[in-house]
Structure 1
Amino acid sequence: MIGLALRSLKFYKGGFVASFIALFFGAAIVIACGGLLETGVRELAAPQRLQAAPIVITGDQSYPGANKVFRERVRLDASTVAKAEAVPDVQEAVPDVSIPAVVVPGGGKGGVTATGHGWDSARLGPYRLVQGSAPSAAGQVVLDSRLAARAGVKAGDRVTLGLHGTLTAYRVTGLVSGPGAAGTLFLAETDAARTAPQQDKVDSIGILTRPGADRGRVRAELADALAGDPVSVLTGDERGRAEFPDVVIHGKNLVSMSAVFGGLAAMVTVFVVASTLGLSLQQRQRQMALLRAIGSTPGQVRRMVLAETFTVAVFATALACVPGPRLGQWLLGRFVDAGVVPGVLIYRSGWIPMVAGAGAALLTALGAAWIAARAAARTRPTEALAEATLQRRRLNWIRVVFAVLCLAGGAILALVTMNVDGATAGSTATPAAMLWAAGFGLLGPTLTRLMTALLRWPLRAVTGLSGQLAILNARARATRLAGAVMPVMLATGMATALIYLQTTQNQGAQQVFEDNLRADLVLTSVAGGMPTSLAAGIDKEPGVAAASAYVPSSGFLEPSKAQLAAYDGKGRKPKGTPVQITGVSATGIERTTAIRAASGSLTDLTGDTVALPESSAKGHRIGERIPMRLGDGTRVEPRLVATVGDQRGYGAALMPAAVVAPHTTDGTVPQILVAADSGSDTVRLAAELTGSGAPLPGLRAAERSDLVAASAEQNDTQTWVAYLLVALVVGYAVIALVNSLVMATGERRGEFTLQRLVGATRGQVMRMMTVEALLTALAGLGLGMLVAGATLVPLSRAVLGRATPAGPPWILLAVLVSALVLTVGTTLLTARLALRARLSTAIGSRE
């Protein structure tokens, strides 16, 4: 049977080529997503400014005991430096702090973004002076020569630096050259300590070892000495995490994103490969029937099919290992361009993604081949020829059971989607779409018969005899027609569902943002941030009705003491729940936003207090202490003073800005929301708040519309990344659609020959095929819209509070027209090529 299988490959090239294409592209996409997943898991970035330190200690960004991360930089206690220096073979432990900075030449309004550090940490680069001298006193600064060129300054000049929310004049004492980004400057140690985001903390510690020391042993001893502290001891390319904490923060985003779309691509691959192989074997039913009629056993037929499939799959998946990693690296580059992940993230795609992608495609192919071969292999020899001719088989109980399970799973996920908050509804809607598609696919022949019955009379009325003949063909060959309809359903259903899923979530987030914002002006600073006390001063300015600091962050609601006390050691230990945290001013939050207290009072939001969304506050009472972790991992227990509405899941816990800001990466207030007095001229007010008499030099004002536009642009950028991955999966489904249609039409050469022999002209055959193509397209579009509707209606109710999704209608029109053109065009082109053969040649080529 193995030899027979290998010899049969050259006689059925069309079916095997189609299977090869499906397996090749499916494996390549899964391998690419696997490479992105490995890149996110490894979280590697080449060290730059700290490359001279063989070992680096930094804060552990991971939330304890869970696959979650803190979104703000986790800093180290200053006492960690002494602990590290006490370890044998540590020559010196050099602390480093990163200070957000802006270089403003001549005190003007424009500025160049930079990062400041203490001069002592310059040797970790190492950096060397190329001009001037080191900063030895307060008010002195050394610039990277590339930064100085961008800012247009030189040694000896005076510049204005924005540090920790204030603008201060400094003298440039020298220029340095060294590794890392161009935006680096060094301050005297006293200035660095004074302007650091947290003055009793350091960002990282560079470890310089003694000559000849075993660095692996030193690393282990450092880990032992610091056991129990939230630290990470890093070597090699891991050290880049200390310089670029975004590698860890956004690396987790890359893990979740690639896992979701990799899983989606794998499921689409299963569907496509099974459909392609099933259609390929349907074309060979006559051969299978003859093999059974001459005495071949079911096992022999199955082994032959498996051997053929294995041969094709091995070559396809092996070749997919070449473009797969390159496709993953290209996708990572697009994510970097969109600002989703940092550009310093090192792409890693080892053998695990290749084995996983190739193995998944290989197992899918063998599983699909075994299932597709079962029916033919188990056919009784006396019924073989009739079965091959008439295609009378019906759904078996296995397909029905799995179809019911898939549809039930889709229904359950739809109910879950409707009842979760809008921000997380997409995580259940995406697998629901795939389950709906899989369920409809398993019921393909039955649903195709139903759609044929519904479309029969309209098509007959419009197309006449050609339509009648096409309907008869469809009814007699329902299995073959289903093999063409299902790819249309998959491509249109998944494209519509996934694209409108993104537009709906984007619109939901944007709508909540616009509805929530009531401020007339938004103040920012050329210094990059503002002091937490500034909002109170702005509130007293003439023409200002109210002002509130706005500090976006995130954190975790920790398990309560009662939950921890009830835990008996069995099952999952209670963990923290992620929550958005916003730092605000109690006196101005209700005038500058639409946030209102559902219970308690927001005016009590001062000191050690918190206001929680109603869903997060369940089980808690006003006045109760709420265990939390702020964005940098700091444990706090603020007193609950109010609850606020959830805003369809986009709400946040509110805390005083003076509490939240010190625990963010920058340590300052990025925005102040300002509501003008009734009848005040906002343009004039903006000029007064940012002019020569401004409460703080360097303030800038933007109107509400500018902030709304900026938010929309940010949402569009993030949505574009999702579109890219959706396009990858849908593009694969389109390839499968064309693949299947070419196979389904090309194998009918013998049927066309018989029609020609009994007197049908080429034009008549083409008209019949046009109607069949329309029937295929309309049936597939109808089922695809059912998949999309079952996915999007629950999502839209959760996100927008209505049944219809958000997004331009032209997207739906483009999907429908594209599917129709592809289906009809591919079918007619293949039929035309099949009809070009001479009758004598076609007769001789029939099975």
Structure 2
Amino acid sequence: MELMLRIVLSTVRHRKAGFAGAFVALLCAAALVCACGVLLDTGLRGSVAPERYAGAPVVVTGDQFVHQTKIKKKGKVKHKAKAIAERAWLPASTADAVRAAGARDVVTEVAFPAEIGTAPDESWGHGWESAALTPFTLREGRAPAAPDEIVVDAATARANGLRPGSRVRVASAEPGSYRVSGVTRQALKDQAAIFFTTAEARRLAGHPGQVTAIGATGSKAAIAAALRGTRATVHTGADRGRAEFPGAERSRIKLISMGGALGGTALLVAILVVSGTFALSVQQRQREIALLRAVAATPRQVRRMIGREALLIGLAAGPLGAAAGLPLAFWLRDRFRGLGALPPNLDLVVSPFPPAAAAVAAIVAAVAAARIAGRRTARIRPVEALGDAAMAPARLGVARTAAGLLVLAGSVVLTIVLAGLHTEAAASPVTMLTALAWTVAVALLGPVIARAAVAVLAVPLRAFPVAGHLAAANLGAGARRLASVITPLTLMIGLTATILFAQTTTGRAAVRQATGGTLAAHVAGPKIPHGTAEAIRRTPGVAAVTEVVHSTVRVGLENYGVQGVTTAGLDKTMDLDVRKGDIKALDPSSIAVSTTAASRLHVGPGDTLRLTLGDGTPAALKVVAVYGRGLGFGDLTVAHDLLAAHVDDPRGTVLIAGTAPESVPTVSASTLAEDTASANAEVNYIAMGLIIAFTAIAVVNTLAMSTAGRARELAVLRLSGATRRQITRMLGGETLAVVLVAGVLGTAIALATLTAFGRGMTGGGPSVPPLAHLGVIAWGGLLAAAATALPARLAMRTRPADAVGARE
């Protein structure tokens, strides 16, 4: 045991360059897994502190979830719940039930979007009676007494220069001019508060006889018992924050899927990269291992030595990488907040679990990768130590060939499955898994692919007298080494192209459909109130106006995007590409569905579709039409009045046929669609960009290790009469061959994956800008050139005689 440990420590000490590559790969892998773990942990255990409801011990709100109960085999009951998209409302009479339960200080409130000037993202109007929930107190002036009076919070007053007596315009579903009657002493951290009279607030909220929340002091159990059987839910403690910020709760749930998917992908990529790194490291030591076998070391002892070397590196890299993952998680948080994907009041949960899991994952990956990589090498024959190089076998092992063919078959199956997925939530994780599966197949069958590629590339390489012949000979003799350096570059090109062009495939299809289906000459938005739309409709020169509001509904537990449209003059402003039925028959009791939704839901004209609107209200609507432009306009279309009554903000966009009034700012339909597609894509780019960066590091790492490990070979060439210039050209030819092979393989992987993705999501092919894809390959080429040139220059600084005689 002690002798083995000394050998391990001596090997690591004298082969710093080779083990440095494995160390870097493991450190980056641990950092990436830790950052994803923090996101996942935040989604699972994160909470939002209450602000508006901080002064109410008990808060009652509507149920923000859709529930589904299924009875499975053997009588097992499975319950699932999914968050709804809008705020759930309660009957105002619920307050009476709360009082009857013995609660004191019962306060009702309504909340609706209302802004003054450049308000923060969260800016809400309320009735003054709900000021006690925080509580808010007056610093100046008095409470609002007339319908045209408001009280503003201290931050809003300071930002807009307001004081009692000021006149200001408040933007809402029914905008108007109000006089400031008072300014509060308090201001909330993450939202602005504007207080109206109770009657005016309820009028502007647009939900007669309903409230958004009820605050009280009393027993949670007693209140819950009194409300049993209703859609009311009772919250205390930190749970009040979830009730106050339903958007933050939805973001928390999204973090679970994002962190899980990103972490799983990162772990798979890490295993693939680390395995390749250790495989290359072990290949470079074949003569050394053969010498150990020649002095009676058994295959088991060799495997244990390699495993302990990996364990030593993993113990060093894992904790360091996990520690680096914490600032990486905070960097991700800031980027997501900047894009609006993560609310400012949902902070990261930092606990020891993600770093510990990342460190353990790195150590396990190191040991597993080393044992797999050293399995064949440990069985090397001692007589091979007498050779100048450990030559690769003529054929792959049976186990590796079988594994490669099995993964190849799995990749084909995943590609076929991907072609049948029509929603982004289902297709996105399968898209990444498909690209990874193809890359794993390439890695397993790499030597065979490398030999075939060399056979093709050797002909043009030999056109160059010395350097070309040397490059062709080296590539042909080192098929396994070539496969080891091709794999990470293929992975980087394939994943980068898949991530980038999956977004362009759906984004451009959506833009094409939105642009082609918008007949209106002008689009105004995004927050145009109904009154403004009516004024535009009455303007001379306007032929038709269509109001459009968007939301998300659930059919069962599945999410579907929905738009609500006014039907008068719809044929002059919007063409949904109706395939079946008649869109003119659309009214508040009916619905039109896209071809994708119709296929998934198995409905057509005349059928009844049951769904849950954004605020949790169930509806049964008759299908009157099936249309083709679902990507551009949403999978479902309903009457505007129906949807507007069940969203937090009924303001939306306005399509104008004819001449738009000069006072109304307009944009083109393509610009609006591109902005929407770009906002959605940026979140995915940031999340997956870390994996692309990791694969780029792996490319540099592997190529640098490969070149540095050839110092003795380069020295022999120099002793044989080759000049530095000829060797540099030889390495350049080899690098060019590696980039060409990886470019072809990465492109093939991306095209196979994107073709299936495009067929499922858009019904067409992928959208791959040629220059952008050439840029991806060129970037891979630059990385490969840099990772080869610098180690080669360092290796050739050593005198050839010293390099040949140096201990390997």
Q: Is the 2:155–2:187 Cα contact (8 Å) retained in structure 1?
A: no
Greater shift, 734-743 or 823-832, is seen at: 823-832
Residue type at the aligned position of 2:202: A
Listed one character per residue, the Cα deviations across residues 613-637 of structure 1 (whole Å, up to 9, x for unaligned) are 2443454454443221111111111
Residue type at the aligned position of 1:176: T
Identity %: 34
Q: Which of 807, 811, 832 matches 2:793?
A: 832
Listed one character per residue, the Cα deviations across residues 316-370 of structure 1 (whole Å, up to 9, x for unaligned) are 1111221212111111111111222222221113233223322322222121111
Query: TM-score scaled by structure 1?
Result: 0.87
2:494 paired with 1:496: no
Q: Which of 624, 631, 638 matches 2:621?
A: 638
In the alignment, what sits opposite 2:281? 280
In the alignment, what sits opposite 1:347? 348
Q: Which of 603, 607, 614 matches 2:584?
A: 603
Q: Is the 2:128–2:144 Cα contact (8 Å) retained in structure 1?
A: yes
Q: Is the 1:774–1:820 Cα contact (8 Å) retained in structure 2?
A: yes
Q: Which of 174, 181, 184 matches 1:166?
A: 174
Q: CA deviation at 1:446?
A: 1.0
In the alignment, what sits opposite 1:475? 476
Q: Is the 2:553–2:611 Cα contact (8 Å) retained in structure 1?
A: yes
Q: CA deviation at 1:87?
A: 4.3
334 and 295 in structure 1: CA distance in 2 versus 1, 3 angstrom threshold: same
Q: Is the 1:470–1:771 Cα contact (8 Å) retained in structure 2?
A: yes
- Structure 1 distance, partners of 2:276, 2:760, is 34
2:177 paired with 1:202: no
Q: Which of 111, 115, 126 matches 2:124?
A: 115
221 and 406 in structure 1: CA distance in 2 versus 1, 3 angstrom threshold: farther
Q: CA deviation at 1:287?
A: 2.2
SS at match of 2:113: strand
- Structure 2 distance, partners of 1:347, 1:222, is 32
- Structure 2 distance, partners of 1:617, 1:803, is 21
Listed one character per residue, the Cα deviations across residues 266-316 of structure 1 (whole Å, up to 9, x for unaligned) are 111111100001111111112221222222222222111111111111221
2:13 paired with 1:10: yes
SS at match of 1:378: coil
Q: Is the 2:141–2:183 Cα contact (8 Å) retained in structure 1?
A: yes
- Structure 2 distance, partners of 1:172, 1:739, is 64
SS at match of 1:832: helix
2:611 paired with 1:628: yes
Q: CA deviation at 1:740?
A: 0.9
Q: Which of 653, 661, 671 matches 1:686?
A: 661
Counterparts of 1:160-239 in structure 2, within 5 Å, are: 160-163=169-172, 165-180=173-188, 181=190, 183-209=192-218, 218-219=219-220, 222-239=223-240
In the alignment, what sits opposite 1:521? 522
In the alignment, what sits opposite 1:75? 89
SS at match of 1:491: helix
Q: Which of 719, 729, 732 matches 2:681?
A: 719
Q: Which of 543, 546, 570 matches 2:544?
A: 546
525 and 649 in structure 1: CA distance in 2 versus 1, 3 angstrom threshold: closer
Residue type at the aligned position of 2:16: K
Residue type at the aligned position of 1:543: G
524 and 319 in structure 1: CA distance in 2 versus 1, 3 angstrom threshold: closer
Q: Is the 2:407–2:437 Cα contact (8 Å) retained in structure 1?
A: yes
762 and 540 in structure 1: CA distance in 2 versus 1, 3 angstrom threshold: closer
2:17 paired with 1:19: no
Q: Is the 1:421–1:799 Cα contact (8 Å) retained in structure 2?
A: yes
Counterparts of 1:138-537 in structure 2, within 5 Å, are: 138-163=147-172, 165-180=173-188, 181=190, 183-209=192-218, 218-219=219-220, 222-381=223-382, 389-392=390-393, 394-421=395-422, 423=424, 425-461=427-463, 463-523=464-524, 529-530=529-530
Q: Is the 1:485–1:779 Cα contact (8 Å) retained in structure 2?
A: yes
Q: CA deviation at 1:448?
A: 0.8
789 and 640 in structure 1: CA distance in 2 versus 1, 3 angstrom threshold: closer
486 and 711 in structure 1: CA distance in 2 versus 1, 3 angstrom threshold: same
Listed one character per residue, the Cα deviations across residues 522-547 of structure 1 (whole Å, up to 9, x for unaligned) are 35598x6226xx86786566433333
- Structure 1 distance, partners of 2:406, 2:626, is 41
- Structure 2 distance, partners of 1:617, 1:255, is 29
Residue type at the aligned position of 2:91: D
Listed one character per residue, the Cα deviations across residues 762-801 of structure 1 (whole Å, up to 9, x for unaligned) are 3333332222222222222222222222222333444565
Residue type at the aligned position of 2:94: T
In the alignment, what sits opposite 1:564? none
SS at match of 2:88: coil
In the alignment, what sits opposite 2:666? 702
- Structure 2 distance, partners of 1:229, 1:312, is 59
843 and 465 in structure 1: CA distance in 2 versus 1, 3 angstrom threshold: closer
Q: Which of 541, 564, 570 matches 1:583?
A: 564
118 and 640 in structure 1: CA distance in 2 versus 1, 3 angstrom threshold: same
Q: Which of 739, 753, 773 matches 1:812?
A: 773
Q: Is the 1:61–1:248 Cα contact (8 Å) retained in structure 2?
A: no
SS at match of 2:175: strand
Unaligned runs of 5+ in 1: 210-217, 559-575, 677-681, 691-699
506 and 42 in structure 1: CA distance in 2 versus 1, 3 angstrom threshold: farther
- Structure 2 distance, partners of 1:159, 1:828, is 66
Q: CA deviation at 1:586?
A: 2.5
Residue type at the aligned position of 1:530: H
2:718 paired with 1:756: yes
Residue type at the aligned position of 1:589: L
Counterparts of 1:791-806 in structure 2, within 5 Å, are: 791-798=753-760, 802-806=764-768
Q: Which of 624, 642, 648 matches 1:665?
A: 648
- Structure 1 distance, partners of 2:782, 2:167, is 66
Q: Which of 59, 62, 66 matches 1:63?
A: 66
- Structure 1 distance, partners of 2:620, 2:287, is 75
In the alignment, what sits opposite 1:557? 555
441 and 68 in structure 1: CA distance in 2 versus 1, 3 angstrom threshold: farther
Q: CA deviation at 1:739?
A: 0.9
Q: Which of 105, 108, 123 matches 1:95?
A: 108
- Structure 1 distance, partners of 2:324, 2:153, is 40
Q: CA deviation at 1:650?
A: 5.9
- Structure 2 distance, partners of 1:126, 1:661, is 31
Residue type at the aligned position of 2:553: G
